[in-house]
Amino acid sequence: MSLIDKVLSRRSIRAYSEEKIPGHVLNKILEAGRQAPSAGNRQPWHFIAVTDKEIKEKLSWGRVNWFIKDAPLTIVGCANTVTGNWSIVDTTIALQNMVIAAWAMDVGSCWLGAFRENEVKNLLNIPEGWKVVALITFGYPAEGENRFPANFQEMRERLTKKKQIDEITGYNKF
């Protein structure tokens, strides 16, 4: 599949097979973050690759992020807010680079905004001056049409329907 087809076929994956992510694949995912653009080339990010079962269980506290414990990898993206407002944008770009790079290697992922920042910071020893931007689960998709596990079925339409290009785009004016 070409890169453009990979970009267009990416969808949030919330059900993972038990297959681990090999080290060389993880390194490529991290490298995609490292190579991302950033304002003034400040690279104001720090990534925590969580693979430890107990830590993953502690992060899986709620209805919308319980699958952290089933994903072989969760990357926690942190932005150094001391360097200014762009740090959150920069870190977001780096994380999405990772998502696309992962999918190019058939590794699915899901962004998670549902986390308790203070708990995540305490659990992972994240210092003052750093903001947790997002958590992203990564793993090979489980077989079958189960990227929406049972407790997500009623949200399926809301979470998948995409707006049309003419709804979201203006040409030469808003």
Ligand X SMILES: Cc1cc2nc3c(=O)[nH]c(=O)nc-3n(C[C@H](O)[C@H](O)[C@H](O)COP(=O)(O)O)c2cc1C
Residue at token pair 């790079």: 101
- 68 near ligand X, rule: CB under 6 A: no
Give the angle subtended at the CA of 65 by the CAs of 64 and 66, to the nearest 5°: 105
- 114 near ligand X, rule: CB under 6 A: yes
- 6 near ligand X, rule: CB under 6 A: no
Return the SS3 of 109: strand
Task: Supply 105's token pair.
Answer: 């290697």
- 11 near ligand X, rule: CB under 6 A: yes
Q: Which of 94, 112, 126, 132 binds ligand X (CB under 6 A)?
A: 112
- 28 near ligand X, rule: CB under 6 A: no
Q: Could you tell me the smallest distance in angstroms from the CB atom of residue 173 to ligand X?
A: 27
Strands 108-112 and 45-50: what pairing? unpaired
Q: Is 107 left (phi over 0), alpha (psi -120 to 50) or beta?
A: beta
Q: Which of 47, 61, 86, 111 binds ligand X (CB under 6 A)?
A: 111
Q: How far apart (Å, rounded) are the C-alpha atoms in residues 46 and 30?
A: 10
- 60 near ligand X, rule: CB under 6 A: no
Task: Supply 11's token pair.
Answer: 């969808």
Element (H, E) at 48: strand 45-50
- 154 near ligand X, rule: CB under 6 A: no
- 61 near ligand X, rule: CB under 6 A: no
Q: Which of 49, 64, 93, 100 binds ligand X (CB under 6 A)?
A: 64
- The region of 7-15, 72-80, 83-91, 122-130 touching ligand X under the rule CB under 6 A is 7-15
Residues near ligand X, by CB under 6 A = 11-12, 14, 64-65, 110-114, 134, 159-160
